[in-house]
Amino acid sequence: MSYTLAGKRVLITGASSGVGAALARRLAAQDAVVGLIARRRERLDDVLADCRRTSPRSAMWVADLADTSAAGRLALQSWHALGGIDVLVNNAAIPKRRAVAALKPNDVETVMRVNFFAPMRMTLALLPRMLARKSGTIVNVSSVGGRLGIIHESAYCASKFALCGWSEAMAVDLAGTGVSVKLIQPGPVDTEIWDRPDNEEPLYRGPKVAADLVADEIIAALGSDRFEHYLPDMMSLKDIVDAKNADLDAFIAGAAAMTWQ
């Protein structure tokens, strides 16, 4: 399925670094108009300056999506400023690497606000307009942690499992409306999420893929008929998820055993 980016208006959350920043620059280079949302003004200024070299109508909004009450209003403000939104990319996310027994309720609720409730509110704010227009794409950037329980990532996994379930049910509800849903499942990506303060040291020591590569594959997913995309396109990730679903007890036992090695 061909998909032309030129002239498309794309709103991206978490756009000041990592996958969001890489995606914004890639899209602007292909003549899309990008709207950028993130907390850090200076970093966002730099990304916007790069985007405006090829996409002068691009714009930015500084906001903390942990304030979910503002998320819907921000989405509508972006819609009006850009003259509509063709693609919403819910990319912003935060971790909380901590053993479940050491978590506080506020820890989990903060992760849920940024990783699930903000995407939900932004989507519901824009969806009536997309449905009336009979076109639009919602891109939810989840994680392989939205399909697998990961040691010391119970808060993060809860938020990403929620985003996966939300995306699947939404895709069913929206079938035939002209509004499509894409669920993105990145593996380990080389971004700042591994270095966030107030988190335990990550136990994962394996390879990570570049944010630019994931951004390129998200763009490729926009032109695909498929709903779910494991990125980078490594079947090994999907194989692991399929094996877990085939025998969940064996997966939990194996993961728990690896924890103590």
Question: Is residue 143 helix, strand or coil?
Answer: coil
User: Which residues partner with 11 through β-bridges?
Assistant: 35, 88
Contacts of 9 (CB under 8 A, 6+ apart): 32, 33, 34, 35, 82, 83, 84, 85, 86, 87
Integer Cα distance of 12 and 250 in angstroms: 38
Q: Which residues are catalytically annotated? A: 156
Integer Cα distance of 79 and 75 in angstroms: 6
> What's the gap between Cα 232 and its chain centre?
14
Count the Cβ atoms, other than its own, within 10 Å of residue 241.
18
Beta-sheet strands, E only, within 135-241: 136-141, 179-186, 228-231
Integer Cα distance of 234 and 50 in angstroms: 30
Count the Cβ atoms, other than its own, within 10 Å of residue 72.
17
Contacts of 142 (CB under 8 A, 6+ apart): 160, 163, 164, 167, 183, 184, 185
Nearest 5 degrees, angle CA 214-CA 215-CA 221? 85
